[in-house]
Amino acid sequence: MRYVSTRGNAPVLDFENVTLAGLASDGGLYVPESWPSLSKAEIADLAGLSYVETALRVCRPFVGDALTEDELRDLLTQAYGSFSHAAVTPLKQLDERQWLLELFHGPTLAFKDVALQLLGLLFERFLSNRSEHLTVVGATSGDTGSAAIQALAGRAKVDIFMLHPLGRVSDVQRRQMTTVMAPNVHNIAVEGNFDDAQALVKAMFNDASFASRFRLSAVNSINWARLMAQVVYYFYAAVRLGAPERPVAFSVPTGNFGDVFAGYVAAKMGLPVAKLMVATNVNDILHRALSTGDYSCGTVQPTAAPSMDIQVSSNFERLLFDLHDRDGAKLAGVMKGFEATKSMTLGNERAKAELFESYRVDEDAMALALRWACANANELIDPHTAIGLAAARKVDLPADVPVVTLATAHPAKFPDAVERASGMRPSMPARCAGLFDREERYATLPAELGAVEAYIADRAVAA
Ligand SMILES: Cc1ncc(COP(=O)(O)O)c(C=O)c1O
Ligand SMILES: N[C@@H](CCOP(=O)(O)O)C(=O)O
């Protein structure tokens, strides 16, 4: 499999190199040159397979000959061996048609572990043949950071510098990052919001001399391997609910558009997806874009679902690439315009995004959905999942189509917000006990490229 940039002007890479790369050198994101497909019979054959075997069949076309089948199976087995549920991503029924897909049974209690447990192993495997040292730079609104740090702490040949917005992640999320004392882990609290942190990361990749001097790499969903790993659970869930004979809809709490884009990839590969509901909080740029064509940034508002307090959604560019008929040169122009004005209008191409529907969920509606899950299904869910569930209950499809909400985080990551909404305080799973007894370590820096690059240059290993 070969990977091309959404902006059409960067080297074409294979799976190994796309995994070690971050942003493409033309500022775009890497995507497969064409979408692989699984036939109806191949999808039917997934019934009854374990998560690891399902992942093997879904990931194999993306990995190509970068790993043998046995090597890939070994890595998947190790990655998902760290999950606390035998099904890895179990399904739970809420009522006749509503389901939860629990994605939070990994080490840091959020869906990010599903991809990052694998990515950590892929980095190690690919670096083992090389004399290179990677400097991973990432931005987090809370969950990517902890999952990436957990996956990379103590690994040879990698340093990780993780930027989070100062004071805008939950205490649990922050401590999951800042109490990790491995010498290759460097936490930076940026005086700004998540969009500022993400823009700094992209600016570091676009600074060609800095990027090559420190061999920058990415753990955010700009890294293709992240999304590949997330495609798997759409297949795993849908097959359990009757695919390929029966279409299934998904509701996805959305911020950076990575998780829902993985659902789109599953549909492109042949999975019968009836609808992808893009559930946003009041930071609703994606809802406005998909429902009216208005993709313009507003001011980020802090909410009880802080991981989705995002305006500029990285992966939306990957969808735009398809909507512009994969014309990289045209999209490069469109994206340059957006970067200059922070605004874009979607025209006729919006009609090609009919698989998506969107819904904006404010704080009251989030709390209502959280209480509904407690009262009707005895499930305590987190605020991000509650946003997905609120949107799922608006899906307008025939009653026999199951609707699966992606449960993206464990409620214990957001105990104050969950208690405010439901009156119940979630308890911390044993694997994360002691978090509040440990010492924290992080630097605080202004949201300025020079300051962040200087901090990293003082600590990173030059290539
Ligand atoms: C708990 C949680 N839910 C939902 C999201 C949104 O996912 P995505 O950024 O892939 O749209 C995030 C952040 O990525 C998250 O951490
Ligand atoms: N919500 C995310 C934001 C970064 O998203 P990513 O999927 O691109 O890594 C977070 O928790 O950090």
In this predicted structure, the answer to whether residue 129 has a pLDDT above a threshold of 90 is no
The CATH number given to whatever domain includes residue 367 is 3.40.50.1100
Q: Is residue 122 part of a domain?
A: no
Q: What tokens were used for 70?
A: 């046995």
Q: Is residue 375 part of a domain?
A: yes
pLDDT confidence band for 412 (50 / 70 / 90):
very high
Specify the pLDDT at position 431. Answer: 86
Q: What is the pTM of this model?
A: 0.97
Pairing of strands 185-191, 273-280: unpaired
Q: Is residue 71 part of a domain?
A: no
Q: Is residue 301 part of a domain?
A: yes
DSSP-assigned beta bridge partners for residue 221 = none
**Residues lining ligand 2, Cβ inside 6 A:** 140-145, 220-221, 255-256, 258, 307, 314
Question: How many angstroms separate the alpha carbon of residue 73 from the centre of ligand 2?
Answer: 26
- What domain range is 267 assigned to? 91-107+227-429
Q: What is the torsional sign of CA 197, 201, 206, 212? A: positive
Question: How many angstroms separate the alpha carbon of residue 115 from the centre of ligand 2?
Answer: 12
Euclidean distance between CA atoms 355 and 113, whole angstroms = 27
Quote ipTM for the complex.
Answer: 0.99
Does the Cβ of 244 fall within 6 Å of ligand 1? no
- Return left, alpha or beta for 446; rule: phi > 0 is left, psi -120 to 50 is alpha, else beta: beta
Q: Is residue 166 part of a domain?
A: no
Nearest to 31 by CA among 45, 50, 13: 13
Q: What is the torsional sign of CA 345, 350, 356, 360? A: positive
Question: How many angstroms separate the alpha carbon of residue 284 from the centre of ligand 1?
Answer: 14
Q: Report cis status (omega within 30 of 0) of the bond before 446.
A: no
Q: Whose CA is nearest to atom 9 of ligand 2?
A: 220
Q: Is 224 exposed, middle or buried (0-12, 13-18, 19+ CB in 10 A)?
A: buried
φ/ψ of residue 299, rounded to 5: -95, 135
Does the Cβ of 422 fall within 6 Å of ligand 1? no
The total of structural domains in the chain comes to 1
Q: Is residue 121 part of a domain?
A: no
Using the structure block, give the residue that is written with the tokens 């990285």: 314
Counting ligand 2 atoms within 8 A of each CB, the residue from 29, 141, 257 with the most, and so the one to mutate, is 141
Q: Is residue 332 part of a domain?
A: yes
Q: Which of 40, 92, 112, 394 is catalytic?
A: 112
pLDDT digits 0-9 by tens, 277-334: 999 999 999 999 999 999 999 899 999 999 999 999 999 999 999 999 999 999 999 9
Q: Is residue 46 part of a domain?
A: no
Does the Cβ of 307 fall within 6 Å of ligand 1? yes
Nearest to 275 by CA among 182, 160, 403, 174: 403
| Active site (annotated) includes residue 202 | no
pLDDT confidence band for 124 (50 / 70 / 90):
very high
Q: In this prediction, what percent of the chain has a pLDDT beyond 70? A: 100
pLDDT confidence band for 9 (50 / 70 / 90):
very high
Q: What is the average pLDDT value for the chain, to the nearest integer?
A: 97
Question: How many angstroms separate the alpha carbon of residue 307 from the centre of ligand 2?
Answer: 7
